[in-house]
Amino acid sequence: MPELPEVETVRRGLQPVMEGSTIVRAEARRKDLRFPFQKDFIARLEGQTVTGLGRRAKYLLADLASGDVLLMHLGMSGSFRVIEGEDQKKPGKFHHPRNEDRAHDHVVFHMSSGAAVVFNDPRRFGYMKIIARHALEREPLLSGLGPEPLGNEFDAAMLARSCANKKTSLKAALLDQRVVAGLGNIYVCEALFRSQLSPRRLAATLATKAGPRKGVAAGPSKSVAGGEPTDHAKRLVDAIHAVLNQAIKAGGSSLRDHRQTSGELGYFQHSFQVYDREGEKCQTAGCSGIVRRFTQNGRSTFWCPKCQK
């Protein structure tokens, strides 16, 4: 499934043709994707100007002049294609063919800019939903999401507080969208490697433990609150920031179905230091370890047992 950098790359590709333009005509060529379309889906889109195109975690959010917001999720195989006149954006150097079966072109937005924005989704795990802006915070798909990892509020202190009492592994905690929004398997593996932290490490070790009050005997109710960030938390947050910014700059990672809206593949997969490098020599300077893979919470984890502690 596309992760935060991939969705941000798609947002930036759609922004020039959608933002400030009006949806002259909208087509939903089937009744559903992962979920059924709302009965008034088309009616609430047509004639509306897209005043802004944002992102929340792995969701695209198109603000409409009506006060509605169009929420879009790419699912497993969803992608957008931009057609301007008779021309489509040409694929770049790292291109491999998209799905060419136009039977999977399920949603089309005809914009006043002259562009057509086409959503193609062979597996139909993607979805779209229109939500009133004032109800956005109560929307079940969004209300439980944690902070944006590139937002100002996400820092070592916040991550430490979120993990202070968790009994799960560090990797499982980072994949929990309630702890931090938008991270997925690829970037969690990369961030843990760069911070030299084991994916098996307990998440609670990112925070200091509670200790006895000064001058007071220790007891079950005589402790100060823990949760202060450890050096591990600071290293990890720095690594998360670095790997996400690098991936966005490179256009995201292109594994299996993900494409940019231009048809180009992202370049970041060429910068993986650990993900999908099982059996290769660790890239940490001075480390003689070998990258290993194991299954964790149903997902493949790649790590170096020698330098990630």
User: Cβ–Cβ contacts within 10 Å for residue 237, how many?
Assistant: 23
Decide: 244 and 4 in contact? Cβ < 8 Å: yes
Q: Comparing C-alpha atoms, which of 237, 263, 268 is closest to residue 252?
A: 268
What type of residue sits at position 81?
R
Write the secondary structure of 12-59 as one string of H (helix), E (strand) and C (coil).
Answer: HHHHHHHCCCEEEEEEECCCECCCECCCCHHHHHCCCEEEEEEEECCE
What is the rounded CA–CA span in Å between residue 253 and residue 120?
19
Report the chain's C-alpha Rg in angstroms: 22
User: Cβ–Cβ contacts within 10 Å for residue 245, how many?
Assistant: 12
Decide: 207 and 237 in contact? Cβ < 8 Å: no
Question: Hey, which residues are catalytic here?
Answer: 2-3, 58, 299
